[in-house]
Chain A
Amino acid sequence: MSELYRKISSNPFTISLDSIPVLDYAGFFDQTVLMMKDEAEHCAALYAVEMSGAPRLFCCLANDNDHCFRLYSTELPRERSTVPSLSKEIPQLHVFEREIHENYGVVFEGHPWLKPVRYPHYRADRTSVMDNYPFYSIEGEELHEVGVGPVHAGVIEPGHFRFICNGEKVLHLEIQLGYQHRAAEKLLSESRNGISRCVMCDNIVGDTAVGYALSYAQLIESLSGTLPATSLQIERCIALELERIAVHIGDTAALCADVAYQFGQVVCEALRTEIINTTQFWCGNRFGKGLVRPGGSNYMMNRKVVDKILQVLEDVGKRFAAISGRIYSLPSVLARFEDIGCVTRRQALDIGAVGMAARTCDVRRDIRWSHPFQYYGESSFEPLVFDTGDVLARGLLRAEEVRESTELIIELISAWNNLPAGNSGPDYNLSLSPDSFALSLVEGWRGEICHSAITDKSGNIIHYKIKDPSFHNWMALAIAVRQQEISDFPVCNKSFNLSYCGNDL
């Protein structure tokens, strides 16, 4: 069989819609199965767009080893077609097929689990409602079910967790999401206003505001053929790494809180405050909202900001190294982290885990390295990998990534020092290339954030698609808690810290 796809080596990229091969469904199916047997390949995007009455499916695979994308498509004969499910062969596609099913009513025959993803207001089946989610259940006198949420005990986002337990032991966890659905993709697809769109992207997943704004900015710049100045690229990488450091330290605090190690919690909380206040010093917002814009920046980095960043990183770096050294050498903490919530390498590959969840299971998957964007390709960055797949690995990876990101920022700043200062403001009216498909990936602190858009013949965006890393990784949490004590759920959950609004969009 000859392979029919476009091979693309840049991130972000824009190509004309005409040049994307359209396969018949059988060819699409076979090609996907064949290519995805390569464990380095994972699905960056698989989504449907309604084009002239019937859904067209675009599939974009990303390869960890050859650093390329492969893009191809198929046209379904009509809405609500029935086609064979790919998930049977390639389990990681289960959630993509579920989404297409939910939005367009396409039936994937043989799908093991064709359940709702987020109950969007535009779902194909209006009779499917939050209250009648088809939970998996097991009959048995010894078994009981535990339901948690949507409103949780802590101050966090809503979602429902349904456990099937045998005594204290979890046999199965099913996660029902959708409570956070605000139709972000729809609003982005319909908006004709450049300012609105990027302000919207600051407000989709607030804990990853920089990552989202950067995915958007890159995408728009790619669609308009704009190349950001090198100094601006560096500034964006610095902002993204600051976001990573802040969340990783904050999550370390939360992990300590879950195992009642209050000392670690309090020290880490204070350190996180230092980092987010530095971001606020730079741009006036602790989460970096408004910091990244297409075409330029409203908050060009300057000497004052650089000095502040360097000074804070030196101080926080030292203090965080001391406390994390302490946390991960205390037997009482280790007993709660070690061998808890394990995900194996095979499982991670099967579910298409990305970001931190992949890198703690011996899977070298990091977009900064495999599909470098902005200035990462010119930096010395190399992904860190752990292989035990447990809560401890997810904690240690955070600690190590804080150290690595700190070093990376120092390296980026010395490169920035040698460059002429850029001084252009953002451009909200970039004209976009018509009849095109564009895709942009950014490695946020959770993992890869994918933004993708399709334009019409006048260069207007007609379809906007977002994929949060959590879209892949919620399954990792469900797997991690199997055969665990239910009392270990909080610490497992915290160790992933997945996004609800990023899933629900």
Chain B
Amino acid sequence: MYKEIKILRQHGIQYVKDLRRQPVSELFRGRPVISADITGKEIEIVSSLCPSGAIDDKSGAIDLGRCVFCRECEFCLREKIRFTNDYRIACSRREDLVISPGVDTPLRFDGNVVREEIRKIFRRSLKLRQVSAGGDNSCEMELNAAGNVNFDLGRHGVEFVASPRHADGIVITGPVSANMAEALRLTYEAVPDPKVIILAGTDAISGGMYAASPAIDRRFIEEHHVDLYVPGNPAHPLTFINGILDLLSIA
């Protein structure tokens, strides 16, 4: 017992007090800013080098739903593209993930498109079933971390549960491998109504680096309404948590 008290003292206070404003290291790759004066030639260069096709070859906009946050565009064009450490990049609408040149404002979470019942029913308690469908295990580990001693998402009544029958929705990671497509569908069906769908990580939102793979099957995602998009590679626990808090309108 004495030993444990000593360890506990070293352990100190670990939980993040303000999940909305916790600082992260400077280099963290969050919301990018593209200079308004990026030229057509420059757009051509970065859009052709981008490994996930996230940069529009005409407008130069970066789609965070496709971006795998490799930062190669910034290394190639430092004066024009810069990744900030703003991790609050989860959105309720797919199109809000697209960042145009000249824009340097936080991403907008549009609360109006969130179904009324989500807030009404889940605001105090949201239980989630996670389905990894071709995920590389980094997103899965970050989702686990969202509930750990540091981030403690449980303080808001949000938890991962073992069975879809106990869940209010699913969190999908991975590009949805064809071999998991059926299990994903069955898991979703087993969740009682009303239910939410959350996509965590770029792989889930667009397929990421696997978007062109012949071994994935994204029909489930195309056929269903998605309530929350959480970009990242992997999605950082703070990105996920802030997205959830926005979804439930918790200040």
Contact = CB atoms under 8 A, between A and B. Distances in A.
Interface of A: 119-122, 130, 150-151, 153-158, 178-184, 186-187, 193, 195-196, 199-200, 202-207, 209, 250, 263, 266-267, 269-270, 273, 277, 280-287, 289-290, 298-299, 318-319, 322-323, 325-326, 425, 499-501, 504
Contacts of A183: 210, 213-215
A266 B149 contact: yes
Contacts of B138: 206-207, 209, 287, 289
B137 A157 contact: yes
A155 B143 CA distance: 7
Interface of B: 3-4, 6-7, 10-11, 14, 24-25, 27-29, 49, 51-52, 68-72, 75, 83, 85, 129-145, 148-150, 160, 162-164, 174-175, 177-180, 182-183, 187, 203, 208-210, 212-216, 233-234, 236
Nearest to A212: B136
A505 to B, nearest CB: 10
Given A203-B233, A263-B4, A284-B85, 9 more contacts: A155-B140, A179-B180, A187-B209, A187-B213, A202-B68, A206-B135, A206-B138, A269-B150, A270-B149
Given A179-B177, A284-B25, A206 B234 contact: yes
A180 B145 CA distance: 22
Contact of A273 (B27, B129, B145, B160): B145
A499 to B, nearest CB: 7
Contact of B137 (A184, A207, A269): A207
A121 B181 CA distance: 13
A132 to B, nearest CB: 13
Most chain B CB neighbours (cut-off 10 Å) among A203, A270, A290, A322: A203
A266 B8 CA distance: 10
B6 A322 contact: yes
B149 A280 contact: no
A501 B215 contact: no
A119 B52 CA distance: 25
Contact of A155 (B72, B144, B179, B203): B144
Contacts of B49: 195
Given A181-B215, A286-B236, A195 B135 contact: no
A304 to B, nearest CB: 10
A120 B68 contact: no
Q: Which 3 A-B pairs have the closest CB atoms?
A: A206-B138, A284-B27, A206-B136
B12 to A, nearest CB: 9
Contact of A425 (B75, B85, B203, B236): B75
A349 B7 CA distance: 39
B69 A285 contact: yes
A121 B7 CA distance: 51
Contacts, number: 196
Query: Which has the most chain B C-beta neighbours within 10 Å: A122, A155, A289, A325?
Result: A155
B162 A182 contact: no
22 contacts: A153-B163, A155-B140, A155-B160, A156-B132, A157-B140, A179-B133, A179-B179, A180-B174, A182-B213, A186-B213, A193-B51, A196-B51, A206-B138, A207-B137, A250-B141, A263-B4, A266-B148, A267-B7, A269-B145, A280-B28, A325-B3, A326-B7
Given A157-B140, A322-B10, A195 B72 contact: yes
B91 to A, nearest CB: 21
B140 A284 contact: no
Contacts of A501: 134-137
A267 B148 CA distance: 10
Nearest to A273: B150
Contacts of B187: 151
B135 A157 contact: yes
Contacts of B143: 155
A203 B180 contact: no
A121 B135 contact: no
A203 B67 CA distance: 13
A298 B132 contact: no
A120 B150 contact: no
Contact of A203 (B144, B203, B215): B203
B11 A319 contact: yes
Given A203-B233, A319-B11, A182 B132 contact: no
A150 B234 CA distance: 22
Contacts of A153: 162-163
Contacts of A182: 134, 174-175, 177, 210, 213, 215-216
B204 to A, nearest CB: 12
A150 B145 contact: no
A310 B216 CA distance: 43
Contacts of A186: 213-215
Of B11, B29, B70, the most chain A CB neighbours within 10 A belong to B70
A204 B136 CA distance: 6
A206 B141 contact: yes
B4 A277 contact: no
Contacts of B208: 203
A261 to B, nearest CB: 11
A195 to B, nearest CB: 5
B134 to A, nearest CB: 5
Contacts of B71: 284, 290, 298
Interface centre among A119, A289, A322 (most CB of B within 10 A): A289
Contacts of B162: 153-154
B113 to A, nearest CB: 27
B50 to A, nearest CB: 8
Nearest to A120: B215
Contact of A180 (B51, B134, B141): B134
Contacts of A150: 180, 183
A423 to B, nearest CB: 14
A200 B150 contact: no
B141 A280 contact: no
Contacts of B164: 151
A298 B75 contact: yes
B150 A157 contact: no
A463 B149 CA distance: 44
Contacts of A263: 4, 7
Contact of A281 (B25, B72, B163, B182): B25
Contact of B149 (A130, A269, A500): A269
Nearest to A206: B138
B178 to A, nearest CB: 7
A263 B14 CA distance: 13
A125 to B, nearest CB: 15
A281 B27 contact: yes
